[in-house]
Amino acid sequence: MILDYAKLTEEVIQSLENTQTITLATCYENKVTARAMSIVNDGLTIMFQTGRHSEKSNQMRQNSNVAFSVGNMQIEATAEIFGHPNDNQLFLDKYKAKYPQYHLMYTDMPDEVLVIASPMKITLYKYIDGKPCADVLDIVENRAYREVLM
């Protein structure tokens, strides 16, 4: 079933803006790891900061494919490591407003890097009319659709 792309996009954006903690999964050489992250978003784009030498940074440098999960939402994305978080005013403004305590504790640390993740596919798992469904936002193909999972 075809869905309204703009409407599903707005549902995802609102969910991301309301998210305090999201699970990030990274993988390199058959080792998958996951951890809770504090993110901000610019539309569908997900941004976070982390230590330059952390396991997740090392994994993302080797394999840019990442996944996020929060509530009923699963996100497949590619991540790119940028310079220091202080070099991106949009990130700074959003992060400081959403997480003032983390901003004070971590952002000025010299080892921090900014990671920007670009989603390719976002799936929201739902029950509609008593049936399990997946509402899929396929960003690569610029389409939205629903799959009944039974």
Question: Can you tell me the mean pLDDT for 70-79?
Answer: 98
Task: Give the model's pLDDT for residue 33.
Answer: 98
Burial code (b: 16+ CB inside 10 Å, e: under 16) for 103-137 equals beebbeeeebbbbbbebeebbbeeeeeeeebebbb
Task: Give the model's pLDDT for residue 115.
Answer: 98
The CA dihedral of 61, 62, 65, 67, to the nearest 10 degrees, is -70
Task: Give the model's pLDDT for residue 124.
Answer: 98
The three-class DSSP label of residue 21 is: coil
Task: Quote the mean pLDDT of the chain.
Answer: 97
Q: Quote the CA–CA distance of 57 and 81 in Å, as a whole number.
A: 8
Question: Does the pLDDT at position 57 exceed 90?
Answer: yes
Question: Does the pLDDT at position 92 exceed 90?
Answer: yes
Neighbours of 83 (CB within 10 A): 10
Task: Give the model's pLDDT for residue 87.
Answer: 97
Question: Does the pLDDT at position 148 exceed 90?
Answer: yes
Task: Give the model's pLDDT for residue 118.
Answer: 98
Q: Quote the CA–CA distance of 128 and 65 in Å, as a whole number.
A: 30
Query: Which pLDDT tens digit goes with each residue over 97-138?
Result: 999 999 999 999 999 999 999 999 999 999 999 999 999 999
Task: Give the model's pLDDT for residue 36.
Answer: 97
pLDDT band at 59 (very low <50, low <70, confident <90, very high): very high
Task: Give the model's pLDDT for residue 150.
Answer: 86
Domains of the chain and CATH, by start: 19-122 (2.30.110.10)
